[in-house]
Chain A
Amino acid sequence: MPFGLLKYGLRKKYPAERHFTPTKPLKSHYDVVIIGAGGHGSAIAYYLAKTHGITKVALIDKGYLGGGNTARNTAVIRSNYLTEAGVKFYRDSVELYQNLSNEFGYNIMMENRGQLTLAHSDAAIRSFRWRAEVNQHLGVRSELVDRQAIKAMVPNLNLSENARFPVLAGLWHADGATARHDAVVWGYARGACQRGVELHQLTEAQGIDVEGGRVVGVRTNRGRIRCGVVVQAVAGASSVVGQMAGIKLPIHSFPLQAMVTQPYKPILTPHVSSPHVHVYVHQTSRGEFVIGGGSDPYPLYHTRATLDQKEILSAATLELFPFLAQAKILRQWAGTTDMTPDYSPIMGLSPVENYYLDAGWGTWGFKATPISGKMMAELVATGRVPALIEPFELERFYRFEQVNEAGATAASH
């Protein structure tokens, strides 16, 4: 180890700083209670405090900060969706991500290595062309690329014409990126706590008090809290928590599994995704190959990993990258993903007054963390639904106006 680094570490001038405020006793009243201290809940708390000066906020989690899907996702950030509402929304999120390290004064390890989605059929090429047009129209970098360009970008991809599903073309998304998921939630929670928000871990919402159609409090394992506004941002528990407020949602909860190999020297630059063979792969800066994208075939509130998924993901990976045949799998895990019928989130008002929803984040919510936090904070502060998230209101299902997001990763499965 360089001597200078050791000296730096031992110097008193740079003491280790405390990230989050020590847990205080839970008060009996807050202006706002945010249920769920994942990336989303923390981002909402951050923008409430920073942009709107609302700081009498309790950010509660039944487990620990960022221990839910924020800790389990594969960290893919992109905006090459298909619907206008979706592209605009995720585009603004990617933009916020680009400046997040500076804003926090804290490295979220943003890596802009781009995303390549593979087409193995004529139908896929047609839909990629469509996506590229929509994306470019809305200011997102997205273009159709041929096999030669793919070979230049990913020399070790299996481009054999004798493959079971030969690669015909690709959708290249230069704005695609990854970031350290834990750093994102820590950065947001730290910024919120510095401005007076109270983080309460091991604090489970067990009931919601509604009076005259309006939310008035939250019952927790640490006592009852009265409050003016509640935001639920609980990812894989949306139906369960919604039920406490008497709200039924168009959501089904499925485990989504991913895994990671032993580390290798840098060999794969962009994130590579194949909707057809059902897998996506990228190499982290640590060298591990992250392999993702397998949902269980039926709903379940359990985060066990299965041998079935290990086999399915491995087989698909080997179609694309045969050189990984000898790779050892280091870890495999799952998170509960709340899937909506149109592969779009549910944000905004609920049937209960002052009870706001940030739900239905399925397999796509990490990339949305900054923008949903910002928009939900604006909703809480002003009571009005920002135009950017209006299309995603729960009401859309009653109007039969779904935002059919065929560009979602899971949609192609």
Chain B
Amino acid sequence: MKQLLCPLNGLRNISEFLYGGEVHELSDPRDYSAKDWAEHVFFDENRAGLVLEWWCHRPTSYWFIAERNTITDEVVRSFPSSEIFTHRIDFDQRRDRGEHV
């Protein structure tokens, strides 16, 4: 069976993992229009070639990022998401400002 290198658990069978979609930059969600949200939720590059994507090691519920070639199915590298996402996105800022959300 195909294996994937989990940054937390090492090399594991691919059946232990869940594919979680492409990694998207979320700029400032407070400025998102309905169209922006539609694009963010539904639309993807779906590129043939190297892509950055979310994966989850199911037994340990550990989410991480892998760079994979979608033509050859080779995983080039995998790493903790904290390497890209350095701070939390605060979705509650509008609530803080007393707005109705």
Q: Identify the A interface with B (CB < 8 A).
A: 237, 239-240, 243, 248-253, 297-302, 307-308, 341, 397-398, 400
**A252 CB contacts on chain B under 8 angstroms:** 44, 46
Q: Is the CB of B73 within 8 A of A251?
A: no
Please tell me if the beta carbons of A250 and B44 are within 8 angstroms of each other in the complex: yes
A397 to B43, CA, bound (A): 9
Q: Are B47 and A297 closer than 8 Å at their CB atoms? A: no
Give min CB distance, B10 to chain A, whole Å: 20
Interchain residue pairs with CB less than 8 A apart (8):
A239-B45, A239-B46, A240-B47, A253-B46, A298-B19, A302-B73, A397-B43, A398-B34
Question: Are A301 and B70 interface neighbours, CB within 8 A?
Answer: yes
Instruction: Say which residue of B1, B44, B71 sits within 8 Å of A251 (CB atoms).
Output: B44
* Contact present for B46 and A249 (CB under 8 Å): yes
B71 touches A301 (CB 8 A): yes
What A residues does B1 contact at CB under 8 A? 307-308
Q: B46 touching A297 by the CB < 8 A rule?
A: no
B85 at the interface (CB under 8 A from A): no
Contact at B47–A400, with CB atoms within 8 Å? no
The reply to whether B45 and A297 form a contact with Cβ atoms under 8 Å apart is no
B27 within 8 Å of A by Cβ? no
Chain B contacts of A301 at CB under 8 A? 48, 70-71
Of the candidates A299, A307, A308, which one forms a contact with B70 in the assembled complex, judged by CB atoms under 8 Å apart? Answer: A299
Q: Which residues of B contact A341 (CB under 8 A)?
A: 42
Give A326 to B42 CA distance when docked, in angstroms: 44
With A301-B48, A302-B71 as known contacts, state yes or no: A397 contacts B42, CB within 8 Å: yes
Q: Is B35 an interface residue (CB 8 A)?
A: yes
- Bound together, the chains give a CA A400 to CA B41 distance in angstroms of 11
CB-contacts of B31-85 with A (<8 A): 34-35, 38-39, 42-48, 70-73
Q: Which residues of the partner chain B approach A397 to less than 8 Å between Cβ atoms?
A: 38, 42-43
How far, in Å, is B66 (CB) from chain A's closest CB?
A: 10
Q: 5 additional contacts, CB 8 Å, given A250-B43, A301-B71?
A: A243-B47, A248-B44, A252-B44, A253-B70, A297-B19
Chain A residues, CB < 8 A from B73: 300, 302
CB distance from A95 to the nearest CB of B (A): 32
Q: How far is the CA of A248 from the CA of B40 in the complex (A)?
A: 11
Which residues of the other chain, A, contact B34 by a CB distance below 8 angstroms?
Answer: 398, 400
Residues of B within 8 A of A243 (CB): 45, 47
**In the complex the two chains form, what is the Cα distance from A361 to B39 in whole Å?**
20
Min CB distance, B23 to chain A, in Å? Answer: 13
User: Which 3 A/B pairs are nearest by Cβ-Cβ distance?
Assistant: A298-B19, A239-B46, A250-B42
Whether the Cβ atoms of A249 and B43 lie closer than 8 Å is yes
B19 surroundings in chain A (CB, below 8 A)? 297-299
Is the Cβ of A251 less than 8 Å from the Cβ of B46?
yes
Cβ contacts under 8 Å, A302 to chain B: 71-73
B35 touches A398 (CB 8 A): yes
For A240, the chain B residues whose CB sits under 8 A away are: 46-48
Residue of A nearest to B55 (CB): A298
A237 to B44, CA, bound (A): 14
CA–CA, A248 to B70, complex, Å? 17
Return chain B residues, CB-CB under 8 Å to A300. 70, 73
CB-nearest residue of chain B to A299: B70
Instruction: Report A-chain residues with C-beta under 8 Å of the C-beta of B42.
Output: 250, 341, 397
Q: Which residues of B contact A248 (CB under 8 A)?
A: 39, 43-45
Q: Closest CB-CB distance, B24 to chain A, in whole Å?
A: 12
**How far apart are the CA atoms of A340 and B67 in the complex, in Å?**
23
Whole-angstrom distance between the alpha carbons of A253 and B47 in the complex?
Answer: 9
User: Judging by beta carbons under 8 Å apart, are B70 and A398 in contact?
Assistant: no
Interface positions of B from 1 to 28, Cβ below 8 Å from A: 1, 14-15, 18-19
Q: Given the complex of chains A and B, what is the CA–CA distance between A300 and B48 in angstroms?
A: 8
Q: In the docked arrangement, what's the CA distance between A248 and B42, Å?
A: 10
Contacts of A299 in B (CB 8 A): 19, 46, 70
Contact A400 B38 (CB under 8 A): yes
Distance of A398 Cα from B39 Cα, bound (Å): 8
Q: A398 to B38, Cβ gap below 8 A?
A: yes
Nearest CB of chain B from residue A391's CB, rounded to whole Å: 16
Give B13 Cβ to nearest chain A Cβ, in Å. Answer: 10
